[in-house]
Amino acid sequence: MSAGADPELVRSFDPARLSSAFYADPYPTYAALREHAPVLRCPDGSWFLTRYADLEHIYRSREHFSSDKKAAFGPKYGPESPLYEHHTTSLVFNDPPYHTRVRRQIVGALTPPVVRAMEPGLARLICELLDRIEAKGQFDLIEDFAAAIPVEVIGNLLRIPHADRAPLRAWSLAILGALEPVLSDAQRELGERSVVEFRDYLRELVADRHQHLRDDDLLSRLIREQEGGEWLSEKELLHNCVFLLNAGHETTTNLIGNGVHLLLQHPAELERLRRAPELITTTVEECLRCESPNQLGNRLVTERVEICGVELAPGAYLTLCIGAANRDADEFPEPDRFDIGRTPNRHLAFAAGAHACAGMSVARFEAQMALGRIVQRFPKLRLHGTAVRGGRARFRGFRTLPAAIE
Ligand code: HEM
């Protein structure tokens, strides 16, 4: 364990009142929490956990912890609200048997052949984006590159018509934004509206797809299952499709954006990757570890349990800080060093256990292709202008990342 982190950072830490310094660089605070208060009681009564061993244990244990968020989201959104309906119907915020039923169908539709089949389309898309970047000379790595990839990939997986894709990103950002620890009225209102618009759009798409079922898209497969034995109601189908689009979208955008930024900030590692392109696999894992796109998860304690010497009673609400666990020196030697060859690298960026990310092979594949190709194609790629962080604690990424290639 690293020693000497500033205890003052713990005293002033409140997830409901985060400073701009925290959003810019949360890692000194995470180090202080891991060292001085690894299971911290927050002012609102919830608990904030930062050590790798504790998170891994909790993610892998279903005996004492639940993913069901009805009790947390009722007061947050109001039990009649579209945000409540959406988030409490998504598989990720549920326990068995509902979670098992929905997960089986989604995992069954995201098989290795499905991921491999993405390659030609993805290679073409990345090549087109790089051509456009080359023509521009100066560009935004988020808008012009990172964000343009996941929306196409998930759009293709569900076979959403290209002409309909424009609003997907904004809907997704608004719905996920409503998961932040603190929510303004404007954010809440936008989140509610986005759920309604997204759900209504998908309802029409599903009605149309019933007439045009195919073998090669995720939506057709889920509809077939709906018509067969493993029944999903219309509400369940729609909200889990909204969730899939959201789950695969901002997270992967952040992985690609954070990844390019990390490489540009570590020129020796960037050079190492250019000389040995086969390191792209471990590079992406190291980006996932160092700047985890999804920094926070939650669980509810269902049975009395002791974690790190602290007794937690049923009903305790836990925030699991993936971003802190992935920098824990008890698991990762020299945790703050960005090492693109790091092995082993058992990071928790995709969580672990029964709810481990169902789209991790899709995300890895997208990031390997995107990062590998941009760094090989543009030897003079560099940051150019002021990078602006997304300003979110749960999802860590950039709003804009200006860059140039000469
Ligand atoms: C870098 C990109 C990604 C990251 C960092 C990420 C991270 C995560 C994490 C941490 C969880 C667990 C949440 C919890 O239990 O609290 C999760 C769940 C999930 N993710 Fe991802 N994800 C990424 C990309 C994707 C993609 C591309 C897809 C779909 C194609 C996807 C689909 C899902 C699904 C369906 C779940 C729910 C699994 C369950 O509850 O059983 N994710 N993801």
Contacts of residue 137, Cβ cutoff 8 Å, sequence gap at least 6: 404, 405, 406
Taking the C-alpha atoms of residue 76 and residue 310, their distance in angstroms, rounded to an integer, is 27
pLDDT for residue 3? 59
Q: Is 176 touching ligand 1 by the criterion CB < 6 Å?
A: no
Cα atoms found within 13 Å of the Cα of residue 19, Cβ hemisphere only? 10
- Check: CB of residue 23 under 8 Å from CB of residue 391: yes
Query: pTM for the full model?
Result: 0.95
Highest mean pLDDT among 113-117, 123-127, 159-163: 123-127
Exposure b/e, 59-75, CB count within 10 A at least 16 = b: beebebbbbbbeebbee
- Check: CB of residue 359 under 8 Å from CB of residue 150: no
Residue 9 Cα to ligand 1 midpoint, Å, equals 30
- Averaged pLDDT, 271-278: 98
pLDDT tens figures, 361-383: 999 999 999 999 999 999 999 99
pLDDT for residue 333? 98
232 closest CA partner among 242, 241, 222: 222
Taking the C-alpha atoms of residue 174 and residue 91, their distance in angstroms, rounded to an integer, is 19
30 closest CA partner among 57, 49, 43, 17: 49
Residue 36 Cα to ligand 1 midpoint, Å, equals 30
Task: List the structure tokens of 343.
Answer: 């092995």
Residue 146 DSSP class:
I
Q: Is 338 touching ligand 1 by the criterion CB < 6 Å?
A: no
- Averaged pLDDT, 181-189: 90
Q: Helix crossing, 280-290 with 360-377: angle to 10°?
A: 110
pLDDT tens figures, 226-264: 776 667 889 999 999 999 989 999 999 999 999 999 999
Which residue type is seen at 364?
R
Which of 55-69, 194-208, 228-242, 322-336 is the least confident region?
228-242
User: Is the pLDDT at 326 greater than 60, yes or no?
Assistant: yes
pLDDT for residue 108? 84
Q: Whose CA is nearest to atom 22 of ligand 1?
A: 357
Taking the C-alpha atoms of residue 156 and residue 177, their distance in angstroms, rounded to an integer, is 24
Taking the C-alpha atoms of residue 368 and residue 156, their distance in angstroms, rounded to an integer, is 18
User: Is the pLDDT at 2 greater than 60, yes or no?
Assistant: no
Percent of the chain at pLDDT exceeding 70: 99
Q: Is 222 touching ligand 1 by the criterion CB < 6 Å?
A: no
Q: Whose CA is nearest to atom 16 of ligand 1?
A: 297
pLDDT for residue 4? 82
Q: Is 390 touching ligand 1 by the criterion CB < 6 Å?
A: no
User: Is the pLDDT at 289 greater than 80, yes or no?
Assistant: yes
Compute how many other C-beta atoms are within 10 angstroms of the C-beta atom of residue 130: 19
Which of 103-112, 188-197, 385-394 is the least confident region?
103-112
Confidence of residue 5 (pLDDT cuts 50, 70, 90): confident
Confidence of residue 183 (pLDDT cuts 50, 70, 90): confident
Report the residue among 152, 357, 362 best suited for mutation to probe ligand 1: largest number of ligand atoms under 8 A from its CB: 357
Q: Is 357 touching ligand 1 by the criterion CB < 6 Å?
A: yes
Mean predicted lDDT score pLDDT of the chain: 94
- Check: CB of residue 249 under 8 Å from CB of residue 169: yes
- Averaged pLDDT, 121-129: 97
142 closest CA partner among 39, 249, 218, 7: 249
- Averaged pLDDT, 10-23: 93
- Averaged pLDDT, 106-111: 87
User: Is the pLDDT at 1 greater than 60, yes or no?
Assistant: no
Taking the C-alpha atoms of residue 264 and residue 9, their distance in angstroms, rounded to an integer, is 29
Taking the C-alpha atoms of residue 86 and residue 365, their distance in angstroms, rounded to an integer, is 28
pLDDT for residue 124? 97
Taking the C-alpha atoms of residue 236 and residue 240, their distance in angstroms, rounded to an integer, is 6
Q: Where are the beta strands (DSSP E) in 243-316?
A: 296-301, 305-307, 310-312
Confidence of residue 298 (pLDDT cuts 50, 70, 90): very high
- Averaged pLDDT, 34-38: 97
- Check: CB of residue 232 under 8 Å from CB of residue 102: yes
User: Is the pLDDT at 353 greater than 80, yes or no?
Assistant: yes
Confidence of residue 138 (pLDDT cuts 50, 70, 90): very high
